[in-house]
Structure 1
């Protein structure tokens, strides 16, 4: 007699996730927090109704890829995949928009300067005073807009300048990072990391360079 029981659902691959990050400037980029509730609030405020993972640390951009060439986003995925209950964890992210917080491996505490050296103090001394930081999120792909994108679209469609209309939301995000990036850190934006074009992350900081001089 053939077995008619349903086969287990295939586990999602890394391509079923998107690598997003909040970015800004600070005086100390590499900072950690164990406040899971605050990370959840920050995730809700920036990502919204999508399952995924927040990493319990902020990083300098040159800490996002370790010596083996592994990104912090891949490391977060691998940590979930290594759990005995990984099927339940991934299902919860897809079906219930569950969010998790993971601590990055210690290898990501080390700096590994990319071939694109524009964020080094040698190339641009201003970035030794206004130091770039990144807060990464691994997000299960879905049709709904991210909270950041929805807020920006609403600001662009509102009466008044986009900057003025977006300011209250940006201030809320700024306040929400204080548990892991205290003042004088400030947020510049939110974007998706493209592993094939990592220089685009650096472009985000370079676009602000002249205003910092």
Structure 2
């Protein structure tokens, strides 16, 4: 699932960014929003003091990669790279932890089932009722810990201590993923091993069918 190369002149490469995501379950995975303020609040709550990009949509996992192997994270990077003032935009991410919102191309509305089809209803009917969704973030790499990681570390494995934070995250997604959607966790997408994302949903399958 490789993406086409871009000329890196005057801009950082995609390797200077990390492809993070919230993941959860919903009744409608593909939903869009242009609510800049709410996306900013969600970014602060989950990512924290890092520049980066929110994508103005939630997705089913099988919408994250095009047939050509381009991911939604790469598409977000390419949209910023295409701007005439890209050097200033990327510089603001690094120097000022600036955050931006981009609308992903409409082509990502299409489903493209991966060779690993375990999230289809044919393979696992439970995922026709509890439908997987992903909220992507493209984050400029930096030394500061992610807010999500810091909150998990502070809770030190205590679910009760972590609960207020998770409740806040679930509340913060309501503008783009209204109830009954709920967040299961947070991860980093590895386009060389996309099945890792599927495993995160499979890990909760037993809970859903019990």
Measured against the shorter chain, the TM-score band is: over 0.9
Q: 1:101-131: per-residue Cα shift (whole Å, max 9, x none)?
A: 0000011000000000010001100000000
1:128-147 matches, within 5 Å, as 128-147=128-147
Measure the CA separation in 2 of the matches of 1:84 and 1:68.
26
Residue number in structure 2 paired with 1:184: 180
Residue number in structure 2 paired with 1:208: 204
Cα-Cα RMSD:
0.9
1:101-112 matches, within 5 Å, as 101-112=101-112
Q: Secondary structure at the match of 2:53?
A: strand
**TM-score of the superposed pair, with normalisation by structure 2:** 0.94
Measure the CA separation in 2 of the matches of 1:106 and 1:26.
21
Measure the CA separation in 1 of the matches of 2:158 and 2:129.
28
Paired residues in the alignment total 201
How much does 1:67 deviate? Answer: 2.0
Measure the CA separation in 2 of the matches of 1:139 and 1:53.
6
Residue number in structure 1 paired with 2:4: none
Residue number in structure 1 paired with 2:59: 59
Structure 2 gaps of 5+ residues are 1-8
Measure the CA separation in 2 of the matches of 1:10 and 1:63.
30
Structure 1 gaps of 5+ residues are 1-8
How much does 1:10 deviate? Answer: 4.1
Find runs of 4+ consecutive structure 1 residues off by over 4 angstroms.
Answer: none
How much does 1:155 deviate? Answer: 0.2
Measure the CA separation in 2 of the matches of 1:94 and 1:152.
25
Does residue 162 in structure 1 map to residue 158 in structure 2? yes
Residue number in structure 2 paired with 1:89: 89
